[in-house]
Amino acid sequence: MATNSNKKYYITAFALYFAYFILGIASSIMGQYKTAFAKAWGAGTLANGTVDVSMVVSVIAAYGLGRLIAYPFAGPVSDKIGRRISGFIGISLYAVFFFCMISVHSLWWAYAIGIVNGIANSFLDTCVSPSVMEIFPKSASIANLFTKFAITLAQFILPFVIGLVASAQLSYQVIFIGCGILMIIDAILILILPFPAQKSATTTTKTTDSQPKHRFSPAAIASILIGFTSSATFMIWLNCNQELGLSYGIKNPSTLQSFYAVGATVAVLLTAQFIHMGLKETTVLILYPSISIIMLLLCYFIEQPIILYIGSFVIGYAAAGGVLQLATSTTIGFFPDSKGLATSLVMIASSIANYVVLSVAAYLTKVTGTGAPRMIILMNIVITLVGVGLAIIVKRHGASAATVPGVEAES
């Protein structure tokens, strides 16, 4: 997967993937403790007697706002100052998120910490994706795809950790404290471990004068916008499936998280193998969202608990199993000299999705009550359908222009 000279970076790659493992916990743990956080922030009750968790969904949506704020800066920091600095900032801010989120007692402070989470995500993204593609240049797309494996592995393990914490009669805050400590350790490792040297854009353009530095073609723009649609599909499901599960009669809807995580984990492993065998990334960008649409339609029309267990696995596979990462890899093909910038562009679209669609979901939850979960499914179907259209544009008009590059590491 890499040259012998790159073996010295394997521990660095492990530290980067581990950071994404903890990121996976950070991105989903708030959704598992909606009621606890809502009570801590003074939430009221709805007409049916349940706690109003809409404010927690709003805080989760703030992740997207934080990412949107930071990505325009995070990409240039990664490309111009260095991957190490970008990664250290991101990991350190994640430690701040874990420690501070359990310390605040008002919605507005929680919202601010949610924004910090998003800023942390942006700096980590613009470090990890380019770095692992530089460490494993011969399998750049697969290396980037495994960032999703780290996330889904964490999301698979998280429900079991939650169960252990509950059975030991410990506070959920223990998980936050543990993750914060692990991120501090990882931040220290990022400071001392070696990173591959970055090839400058100037050097590359001198040796390849015929290749433009940036390619803002319609296909490139469509590839960037898939960052919005692909993120929306799994973010909506991940953060709203518990309410849907309750409305369909599932007593412990947190179990849906495990089915979702298993599906996403299986997808990463199989998709990596498929790509290794010759399947094009652009084909996956069409096929997987199409599967998501079919599954979402089934979940809308079949109001039975079993369909949500199946749906969680399938959505995990088809929506959260690496589509966003492959969209990032494809977009990097249009921006071969500025991998951090390309990552930022896709993740800005992803951030807008996080903020906009979850804010809409929070609004629907507040104003429509018990009818919101199925309305949110319909919204998800429409967004995912748009994603299929964008992927077709990339497939037909941009596949030949974008080559997913690796950068040979320099000693």
| Integer Cα distance of 296 and 221 in angstroms | 26
Q: Are 183 and 117 in contact (CB under 8 A)?
A: no
| Domains, the chain | 4-397 (1.20.1250.20)
How far apart CA 9 and CA 192 sit, in angstroms, is 12
Query: What are the φ/ψ torsions at residue 209 (nearest 5 degrees)?
Result: -65, -25
DSSP class of residue 196 equals: P
Q: Is 33 exposed, middle or buried (0-12, 13-18, 19+ CB in 10 A)?
A: buried
Secondary-structure percent of the chain, ordered helix, strand, coil, rounded to 5: 80, 0, 20
User: Quick one: tokens of 217?
Assistant: 């073609």
pLDDT (tens place) for every residue of the chain, 411 residues total: 445 567 888 999 999 999 999 999 998 888 788 888 888 887 677 666 667 777 888 888 888 889 888 988 888 898 889 899 999 999 999 999 999 999 988 889 999 999 999 999 999 988 998 898 888 888 877 888 888 889 888 888 888 898 899 999 999 899 999 999 999 999 999 999 999 877 654 444 444 444 545 567 899 999 999 999 999 999 889 778 888 898 899 988 878 888 988 898 898 889 888 888 888 889 999 999 999 999 999 999 999 999 999 999 999 999 977 788 889 888 888 887 777 788 788 988 988 887 888 888 888 877 877 778 889 999 999 999 999 999 999 998 765 555 554 433 332
Query: Is the dihedral angle over the CA atoms 333, 326, 91, 355 positive or is it negative?
Result: positive
Q: In angstroms, rounded to a whole number, what is the distance separating the alpha carbons of residues 98 and 372?
A: 30
Confirm if 241 and 361 have CB atoms less than 8 A apart.
no
Alpha carbon 285 to its chain centroid, in Å, reads 16
- Give a three-class secondary structure readout of 25-51: HHHHHHHHCHHHHHHHCCCCECCCCCE
Find, among 144, 198, 69, the residue nearest to 328 by Cα.
144
Separation of alpha carbons 207 and 210, rounded Å: 9
Residue with tokens 């350790």: 185
- How far is CA 25 from its chain centroid? 11
Give the DSSP letter string of 314-352.
HHHHHTTSSHHHHHHHHHHHH-TT-HHHHHHHHHHHHHH
